[in-house]
Amino acid sequence: MQQKADHQVPVLVVGGSLVGLSLSLFLGRLGVRHLLVERHSGTSIHPRGRGNNVRTMELFRTAGIEPDIKAAASLLADNHGILQAPTLVGDAGEWLFREIDPGGGLARFSPTKWCLCSQNDLEPVLVRGAGALGGDLRYFHELESFSQDPEGVTAYVRDRDSDRLYTVRADYLVACDGPRSPVRGRLGLGQSGPGELFANVSVTFRSKLLAEVVGDRRFICCYLTDPDGDGALLPVDNKENWVFHAPWHPELGETLDEFTEERLQRHIRRAVGSPDLDVEITGKASWRAAERVAERYASGRVFLAGDSAHEMSPTGAFGSNTGIQDAHNLAWKLAAVLDGWAGPGLLETYDTERRPVAEATSARASARSVEHSHPGFAPAPGIGAGRRGGILNIVLGYRYPEGAVLGADPDQPIVPEGMNLSGRPGSRAPHLWLRRSGERLSTLDLYERSMVLLSDAAAPAGSAWHTAARRIAEADGVRLDAYRIGTGPDADLTYDTEGTDWATEHGTNADGAVLVRPDGFVAWRATDAATDAEAELRTVLGAVLDRR
């Protein structure tokens, strides 16, 4: 007989950094009760993990916190590009890239864009958002142990303030507890990949004179290449607060104790090229870049997300973004299973979908570090030798060839050569601007709490698909919304721009239909009318959602 626990929740989240907090936000949006425990006493105080890519910002847009993130990121709103220079004195150097979105071409694919918001500024926004939705966030509480059985997970958590130990009974546990994940270790899950790549000491410092040396060069990051003072400089406010990443070589016996305040001051002055620069060290933290992916993302009722599931080089800011997208993928699946409109087999697709994405993305992150000659990185042969080029297809164009999708080609690459968001099953659904009751919205704004079926407002077959979806939602209890797009009295959504055709953009025709998941990925599409639309759609939903 299971002993009664002190707390009972559907989901226990272990780790309250970016990924854990994002998971809490997404679960809260879906009405899933949960408890989050984090061993530290509060959110991050060190400026790091600042690059939030367009896919992540799409998720935060849907979750309603995009304006708050932009407000928190306002100091760096005009910073763009990566500069590489021997020092910052003079005009020597080159831009590895000047603009994230040159020419504004991203607007074709997304209703939002990249946002430069440091982790220490972003995490408080997530805390407020998750807390407002009822998230039970407990900082300075640490998971001590857990066990699982076929019905759930029993966890033992210590309140580090009072030293009180209490029990939590949850249907599922999600470990967002970092690269040295104790949960992953207790599960005995191994990792694959090259392992450690390089190490840095990250230093926060104040300098009032540095802004004059930088001038009007508003970079995201500057790689400084003086052999005796190499490192990466990042602005915090473009005025007097800065971050510097200094190479650290523990493999050569170098210890952290050697990074004294005096040494760091000398190093920064040499790197910048200004021997009299005022440098006031305000903090330091070591970190190690690695390329590793867990052999599995789940064991029974316990899941891994974020750095506990994968580690990757920081170049390109892929790591935290991949983790936040893990959380979003898992959140809707947990909600669907807990609400009873999907079977437990749906949760198995979390590993099927997300692990290959991490493997492809981590390889690309290492390649990006090689391209940028990241300070301190001397890659071994073969590391970072993957395909080079742009990153939009990595962050927005990745695909799920297998998982909770029907009709995807299992042999297609996870990351395509270019951008082709044309409604193929397993890819992120296309973005189109539409109108609903006069309000402008993106198709991506439709996807969060339910499956969504899109059909044509003017075609008889479109009406049949729409009616089928409504009947299934009412009779079967599936969370399924249906929208008819186009013109005429039956249109639920109309076009914002003349010449737009939803069917063409989604790779179908007026007689077809497209089924989109709550995370905005296409689950299935039909290119023609069905003899029995209701029967066909019911079969599709049964397969995608494991409804047996």
**Contacts for 186-192: CB closer than 8 Å, 24+ residues apart:** 186/145, 186/146, 187/299, 187/302, 189/294, 189/295, 189/296, 189/299, 189/304, 190/294, 190/295, 191/292, 191/293, 191/294, 191/295, 192/292, 192/293, 192/295, 192/359
Handedness of CA 259, 265, 269, 275 (dihedral sign): negative
- The answer to whether 478 touches 462, Cβ cutoff 8 Å, is no
Distance between CA 53 and CA 119 in Å, rounded?
13
Cβ contact 516:483 at 8 Å: no
In CATH, what is the architecture of 193-290? 2-Layer Sandwich (3.30)
8 Å CB contact between 410 and 378: no
> Amino acid identity, residue 512?
G
Q: Which residues contact 314 (CB under 8 A, 6 or more apart)?
A: 289, 365, 369
SS3 423: coil
Residue 122, phi-psi category: left (phi > 0), alpha (psi -120 to 50), beta (remainder): alpha
Tokens linked to 165: 């130990």
Residue in this structure with the two tokens 């905005």, named with its chain if needed:
520
Is 209 strand, coil or helix? coil
Domain map of the chain by residue range?
7-77+114-192+291-391, 193-290, 433-544
* SS3 of residue 79 by DSSP: coil
CA dist., res. 520 & res. 232, Å (int)? 36
Q: What is the pLDDT of residue 1?
A: 44
Query: What is the predicted pLDDT for the residue at 499?
Result: 87
Q: What is the pLDDT of residue 91?
A: 83
For residue 380, the model assigns a pLDDT of 60
User: What is the number of other CB atoms lying within 10 angstroms of the CB of residue 31?
Assistant: 12
The confidence score (pLDDT) of residue 371 equals 65
Class of domain 433-544: alpha beta
d(CA 422, CA 448): 20
Considering only CA atoms, which of 185, 197, 175 is closest in space to residue 312?
197
Q: How far apart are CA 261 and CA 488, in angstroms?
A: 70
Query: Helix, strand or coil for residue 450?
Result: coil
Model-level pTM?
Answer: 0.94
Of 344, 325, 342, which is closest to residue 541 (Cα–Cα)? Answer: 342
pLDDT at 367: 80
Q: What is the 3-state secondary structure (H, E, C) of 105-144?
A: HHHHCCCCCCEECCHHHHHHHHHHHHHHCCCEEEECEEEE
pLDDT of res. 381: 57
**Three-state DSSP class for residue 152:** strand
| pLDDT attached to residue 100 | 79
* CA dist list (Å): 302 to 146, 305, 470: 10, 10, 35
Phi-psi category of residue 74: left, alpha or beta, with phi > 0 → left and psi -120 to 50 → alpha:
alpha
C-alpha distance across the termini of the chain, in Å: 29
Whether residue 21 contacts residue 181, with contact meaning beta carbons closer than 8 Å, is answered with no
Rounded CA-CA distance 194/417 in Å is 24
CA angle 200, 87, 252 (to 5 degrees): 30
Give the per-residue pLDDT at 2.
Answer: 59
How many helices, marked H, and strands, marked E, lie in the chain? 13, 25
Cβ contact 156:143 at 8 Å: yes
Contacts of 396 (CB under 8 A, 6+ apart): 53, 54, 55, 109, 110, 419, 421, 428
Mean pLDDT of residues grouped by 10 in the chain (548 residues)? 84 97 98 98 80 96 97 92 92 86 87 92 97 97 97 98 98 97 97 90 95 94 92 94 94 92 96 96 90 97 98 85 98 98 98 97 83 64 56 92 96 88 97 95 98 97 97 97 94 94 96 98 97 98 95
Burial (CB count <10 Å: 0-12, 13-18, 19+), residue 109: middle
Is domain 7-77+114-192+291-391 annotated with CATH 2.30.30.90?
no
Q: Is 41 exposed, middle or buried (0-12, 13-18, 19+ CB in 10 A)?
A: exposed
Would the CATH topology of 193-290 be identical to that of 433-544?
A: no
